């Protein structure tokens, strides 16, 4: 239960000053945020530290753990790659679906599984074992899978980092990020960086996310079922050159998804001929909104090349919402006719 919203900074005891068992200043300490962190930590299986956005969470991981060098996915979220280039002195790129590389000489390995937008998966236990043998920490971007789809800490990772803005919050109305870990010392370092940097979520934002988590399982189930139906329609259409959804038996990541994912997310990536084809598809649809975020109640589509992703101009990341499956399929079939 999310409880009340404690909106204001707290006053101190006039004689004793700050007390460890009482809320203090709102930047390092807020009861509404603490309640949300307990809830997310329960799902991830670790101690949770929330941030103002997913990018703020990634920045904290880079700053705290990546100064000795970092390996990031070459096909992962483009803003994460750009941030690593700006913040860190030693950055190396490796493909998500490639073989486990040598991790000698780095302090942090960031994995993204499933990767955004290509939806490739990697063997998290194998990468974690190799990284730990080289003395590196492992963080897994769990944004697309969510903790109900995958628990990276159970798979050997040191940190699960995510943009809760997406499917966790699920209503396209709030920004939030988090890092979960079973290392208490690491959690303290992340909190210290958050307090000094000020990248905290507001109490009302924290409350909105906590409120939304009550329907997370229901939303994910419908989104995944919609994605399964939509992926088959897309794969059968001549205007579509490629479809990626790890829940399809023909997908390159299918076997790995069966081992690692408890639920395949509701995101489908497909490729049309070019930008003009995507324009016709989105204009013809009555249910799909153009949006760069994903994981919400409504189906959205994003042409990823427009943001600088190294992908074909016609590549679309489709995030299935919770609409009626027959309605969504009919709408996509009609939009494909326009293509």
Both structure tokens of 231: 């992926």
**Which of residues 318 and 27 earns the better pLDDT score?**
318
CA distances from 42 to 81, 112, 186, 191, 225 (A): 29, 21, 18, 18, 25
> Cα-flanking dihedrals φ and ψ of residue 243, to 5°?
-130, 135
Between CA 33 and CA 191 the distance in angstroms is 12
| Average of per-residue pLDDT values in the chain | 96
Name which of 22-26, 77-81, 257-261 the model is least confident about: 22-26
Dihedral sign for Cα 163, 169, 171, 173, please: negative
Residue 9 pLDDT greater than 80, yes or no: no
DSSP string, 192-249: HHHHHHT-PPPHHHHHHHHHHGGGHHHHHHHHHHHHHHHHHHHHT-TT--EEE-TTST
Give the mean pLDDT of 204-223: 97
> Cα-flanking dihedrals φ and ψ of residue 263, to 5°?
-155, 130
Q: Which of 68, 59, 82, 83 is nearest to 190 (CA)?
A: 59
pLDDT of residue 308: 87
CATH number 3.90.1150.10 given to 215-338: yes
Residue 94 pLDDT greater than 90, yes or no: yes
The CATH number given to 31-214 is: 3.40.640.10
Question: Can you tell me whether residue 151 is helix, strand or coil?
Answer: coil
Between CA 64 and CA 279 the distance in angstroms is 42
Question: Can you tell me whether residue 18 is helix, strand or coil?
Answer: coil
| Per-residue pLDDT tens over the stretch 214-252 | 999 999 999 999 999 999 999 999 999 999 999 999 999
The pairing of strands 267-271 and 242-244 is: antiparallel
Which residues sit opposite 94 in a β-bridge?
Answer: 73
| Per-residue pLDDT tens over the stretch 300-332 | 999 999 998 899 999 999 999 999 999 999 999
Q: Exposed, middle or buried, 15 (CB in 10 Å: 0-12/13-18/19+)?
A: exposed
Residue 25 pLDDT greater than 90, yes or no: no
As annotated, the residues of the chain forming the CATH 3.90.1150.10 domain(s) are 215-338
Both structure tokens of 337: 């006719």
pLDDT of residue 214: 96
**Phi-psi category of residue 200: left, alpha or beta, with phi > 0 → left and psi -120 to 50 → alpha:** beta
Residue 28 confidence class, pLDDT cut points 50, 70, 90: confident
| Per-residue pLDDT tens over the stretch 123-152 | 999 999 999 999 999 999 999 999 999 999
pLDDT of residue 14: 85
Residue 200 pLDDT greater than 90, yes or no: yes
As annotated, the residues of the chain forming the CATH 3.40.640.10 domain(s) are 31-214
Give the mean pLDDT of 161-166: 98
Both structure tokens of 317: 């990341």
């Amino acid at each position: 239960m999310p409880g009340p919203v404690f909106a204001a900074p707290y006053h101190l005891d006039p004689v004793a000053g700050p007390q460890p068992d009482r809320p203090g200043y709102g930047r390092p300490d807020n009861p509404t945020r603490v309640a949300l962190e307990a809830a997310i930590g329960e799902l991830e299986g670790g101690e949770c530290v929330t941030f103002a956005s997913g990018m703020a969470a990634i920045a904290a991981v880079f700053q705290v753990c990546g100064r000795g060098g970092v390996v990031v996915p070459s096909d992962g979220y483009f803003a994460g790659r750009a941030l690593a280039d700006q913040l860190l002195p030693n950055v190396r790129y490796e493909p998500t679906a490639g073989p486990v590389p040598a991790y000698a000489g780095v302090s942090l390995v960031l994995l993204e599984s499933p990767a955004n937008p290509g939806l490739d998966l990697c063997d998290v236990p194998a990468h974690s074992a190799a990284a730990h043998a080289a003395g590196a920490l492992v963080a897994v971007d769990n944004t697309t899978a969510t903790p109900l789809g995958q628990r990276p800490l159970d798979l050997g990772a040191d940190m699960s980092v995510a943009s809760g803005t997406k499917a966790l919050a699920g209503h396209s109305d709030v920004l939030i990020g988090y890092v979960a870990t079973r290392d208490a010392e690491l959690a303290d370092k992340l909190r210290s960086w958050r307090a000094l940097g000020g990248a905290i979520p507001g109490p009302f934002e924290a409350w909105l996310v906590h409120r939304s988590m009550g329907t997370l399982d229901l939303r994910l189930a419908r989104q995944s079922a919609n994605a399964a139906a939509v992926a088959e329609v897309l794969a059968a259409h001549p205007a579509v050159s490629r479809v990626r959804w790890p829940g399809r038996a023909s997908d390159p990541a299918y076997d790995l998804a069966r081992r690692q994912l408890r639920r395949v997310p509701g995101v489908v990536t497909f490729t049309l001929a070019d930008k003009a084809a995507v324009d016709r598809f989105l204009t013809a649809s009555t249910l799909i909104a153009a949006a760069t975020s994903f994981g919400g109640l409504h189906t959205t589509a994003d042409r990823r090349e427009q943001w600088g992703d190294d992908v074909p101009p016609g590549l679309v990341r489709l995030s299935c919402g919770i609409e009626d499956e027959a309605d969504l399929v009919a709408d996509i079939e009609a939009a494909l006719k326009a293509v």
